[in-house]
Amino acid sequence: MYQAPIDDMKFVLRHLVGIDRVAAMQSYEMVSDDLVEAVLDEAGKLAGEVIAPLNHSGDMTGSVRNEDGSVTTPPGFSDAWKAMSEGGWVGLNADPEHGGQGLPQCVSAAVNEMWNSANISFALCQLLTQGAIHALEVVGSDDQKATYLPKLNAGEWTGTMNLTEPQAGTDLAALRTTATPDGDHYRIRGQKIYITYGEHDMSENIVHLVLARLPDAPPGVKGISLFIVPKFLVNADGSVGERNDVRCLSIEKKMGIKASPTAVLQYGQDEGAIGYLLGEENRGLDCMFLMMNSARFDVGLQGLAVADRAYQQAVSYARDRVQGTPLERERGDTIIHHPDVLRLLTGMRAEIEAMRALLLIGGFSLDMAHAGNGGDADFWQTRANLLIPVIKGWLTERSLELTSDALQVHGGMGFIEETGAAQHCRDARILPIYEGTTAIQANDLVFRKTLRDGGEAVRQLLTEIRSDMDEISSGGNGVSGHAGAVLAACDTAEGALDTLLARANSPRDAAASGTDFLMMLGYLSGGWQLARGAAVAAKAKASGEGDPDFMAAKQATASSYMAYSLPEVEKRAAKITGGPDALAAMNPDWL
């Protein structure tokens, strides 16, 4: 059973993010510790009591496409969606003007972690809907906002993102779906694949955001426009009208996230699906990137979420399972006392807490960019732009090993589907792939976020990390060793940055180093946040504030991270230095 890690979320929001800093912004002045605590507590109940029990059964049942093209989700999903919608959770961080709750991204991210830990397949519907809401808020016309946002925020309607086609995956320049002008709308014709919740029975209507080409569009990605194509047309009074010309041809059979329907959608089998231009003509990719940036943050969140669910299950199993007598323990003691099992679980907890802290810091950066003014907003937008590929790449890549470690704790029983441990591994495997593979995130980080500004954004991050570690070192709180380890890792990372910049004239070398550079920044940023958390915990413990066991665990977790995870910074830096030359020596014909 899933137990939302509310105490850790509250700790990060209060002490590492600083919820008071968020509340000081005019857009979020209603935010307070009490409000955040109430939101997290209520979300935890819904996640644990309603959504989590559907995870394993949904995986076993899957969604089913019926002969008429409709799709039936697993038993309980529709009722769970109704509960989520009635609770106002769908539009948690959306504009209150159109029915959203207006909460900051850092709080919304903590809540979304709960949904995805509880049931990642179910939660995908909400994440896609939030992405559609965001795109409409930014580029939708007043009429479009009034028509679609209240229903989406209420969960009565859901949203999708339609990019991929059979011949156009990452290369959207190959996109063939067309949009022909027809009066005040367009006729959309083409096929889209991998459309998450493209057809289902949980909401009254589905609002598809579809990339397509106008007849006179320029070639390549500069000729792509974005269209709103609802499953059912919307009447003038806002009610659902006749069925649009969009059909679900099939749903995919997948390795993981089996309960979520991944649809192949055909637009225009008959007269053409009616669509409405969203934003400007031939600027569709810019609009879609609004959704994709949000989606990449959310997929990183999913990596954290599924890792934590797997970790909780592994801890529960290890507390109960008796196998052999652990060293220096009594006969009958459970496997959690075996040193290697303890190593696995401790390492998992450390990285999960580091991932959570970095995720919420990323959400805070987005909040400050959204609510700030002038240069301050620009700084935070730059910081968010830097962190998002790291969050997406590092958290999802680590989720693969962390869910595998959780299965390892189960031993042979983990390989048996009945325990559910294997499901977490299968569900995690898509995360470094969809919404831009790890290589795409690495290219974004290296070419757009690092080489383009000569490494300035990364150096600003390193400067902030050093400043925080210097403050910890001078605080005399018993955790200066953590700060020293992070400072040493900072020096290593800066050396790797210099190497990367020195190779800027060779794009192949930069691309070959990209994934290691991304992972290096992930491990470093995680150590930064855990060292900060350990310093807070040491101070609280010394003054008698908070739960002493919680604070002691915070310090021990940070120590584990410094011992087992932070050394990855040096390893990745070494690969950045030597890897490109080794790769250049390999002839692809030899493979």
- Dihedral sign computed on CA atoms, order 374, 379, 380, 385: positive
* Number of Cβ atoms within 10 Å of the Cβ of 235: 10
The DSSP annotation for 44-80 comes to HHHIIIIIGGGHHHHHHH--EE-TTS-EEPPTTHHHH
- Token pair for 170: 């990452």
372 CB-near residues (< 8 Å, 6+ apart) = 25, 379, 380
Matching residue, tokens 């637009």: 267
Burial, 460: exposed, middle or buried (Cβ in 10 Å; 0-12, 13-18, 19+)?
middle
Residue 506 main-chain phi, psi, to 5 deg: -115, 90
Distance CA 277, CA 261 (A): 26
Choosing from 435, 456, 494, 545, which is the catalytic residue? 435
R_g of the chain, CA atoms, integer Å: 24
Distance CA 97, CA 92 (A): 13
For residue 229, the SS3 value is strand
List the one residue out of 208, 179, 190, 169 whose CA is nearest residue 249.
Answer: 190
Distance CA 55, CA 477 (A): 43
> Which stretches of 135-224 are assigned E, i.e. beta strand?
157-162, 178-182, 185-196, 205-212
Contact indicator for 268, 179 with CB cutoff of 8 Å: no
- Which residues are paired to 205 by β-bridges? 157
Burial, 493: exposed, middle or buried (Cβ in 10 Å; 0-12, 13-18, 19+)?
buried
Distance CA 172, CA 175 (A): 5
List the one residue out of 266, 74, 53, 231 whose CA is nearest residue 157.
Answer: 231
- Dihedral sign computed on CA atoms, order 385, 129, 169, 426: positive
Q: Answer yes or no: 435 catalytic.
A: yes
Q: Report helix, strand and coil shares of the chain as percent, to nearest 5.
A: 65, 10, 25
Strands 157-162, 205-212: pairing kind: parallel
- Token pair for 209: 């955001």
- Token pair for 446: 């290296």
Catalytic residue numbers read 435
